[in-house]
Amino acid sequence: MRLSPNSKSLMMVSPLVAVLFVFLVCPIAMIAIVSFWRATEFSIIPAFVFENYEFLFGSSVTYRVFFNTFKYALITWAATLLIGFTVAYFLAFHIRTLRWQIALFLLCTIPFWTSNIIRMISWIPFLGRNGIANSTLISWGVIDEPLEWLLFSDFAVVLAFVHLYTLFMVVPIFNTMMRIDKSLIEAARDAGANGAQILWNVIIPLTKPGIMIGTIFVVTLVMGDFITVRFMSGSQSANVGRLISNDVALLAYPSASATAVVLLCTVLIVIGILLRFVDIRKEL
């Protein structure tokens, strides 16, 4: 039996379609459906009501929490971009041999050999009132009183995020930087550009896809997180993820689903806007 090229390619993509359908489309569709259901304290009742959304959009807490989520995402994005870009730039343009580039790159990944949670929680004894940071600063005479805002604060949350997610910025940026043709930089130099001009007019434009991929990673990870915010703020701050996890703990699945749908849409809009700036497909 001979297959037409059309049906052949159809068969080739169908396993992937099937997997994505079962593990991606179905769960999301289920969440969307449940978000219109009703819940009592013990049971969820299939229905088609908007009360979950009404409550969500009617509560000032929702807006505050979404604002908080964006705030964390934005600050974390800026910090990881700055650090990630610098590290990638150093690796790509200042380290001459490939062997050292690989060695140093692997060095960056070492912290990722332990679990996310452990890396995060290990900050707590470090930043605490009687922690290493405070006792060191006091012994150096920099401060007299322990700094209270080091732990259980927005500072601690952002610090943990930056620590956890910077690598997601380093990897794609490093990857695109490695593909920049070195002769372009030489040409720029020959044409009289100084270091800053080369950086701004040559390297950054050519690194944009990497930056964009890193941005998508960091923004989605931070916006979907709940455990970092809970631990590092000592449960005193909330983001959307915590709102959802609280609802789940109280068995309010419909309300959790509604929040999840709104969060999903928000993240998709953010990514949609980001993709207007760079056509990743073309650049890759």
Using CB under 8 A as the binding rule, whether residue 151 contacts other proteins is answered as yes
Provide the angle, in degrees to the nearest 10, between the axes of the packed helices 60-89 and 253-277. 40
Element (H, E) at 248: helix 240-249
**How far apart are the C-alpha atoms of 89 and 175, rounded to whole Å?**
10
Using CB under 8 A as the binding rule, whether residue 61 contacts other proteins is answered as yes
Q: Which is nearer to other proteins, 208 or 242 (CB)?
A: 242
Among 20, 29, 64, 112, binds other proteins (CB under 8 A): 64
Using CB under 8 A as the binding rule, whether residue 73 contacts other proteins is answered as no
Kindly list the distances between the CA atom of residue 208 and the CA atoms of 28, 234, 283, in Å, as whole numbers in the listed order.
Answer: 31, 37, 9
Using CB under 8 A as the binding rule, whether residue 144 contacts other proteins is answered as no
Q: Which is nearer to other proteins, 101 or 266 (CB)?
A: 266
The window from 13-21, 62-70, 84-92, 109-117 that contacts other proteins (CB under 8 A) reads 62-70
Residues 28-47 that bind other proteins (CB under 8 A): 41-43
Residues 215-244 that bind other proteins (CB under 8 A): 230, 233-238, 242-243
Q: Which is nearer to other proteins, 110 or 249 (CB)?
A: 249
3-state secondary structure 183-205: HHHHHHHHCCCCHHHHHHHHHHH
Q: Which is nearer to other proteins, 69 or 76 (CB)?
A: 69
Cβ within 8 Å of residue 3, ≥6 positions away = 11
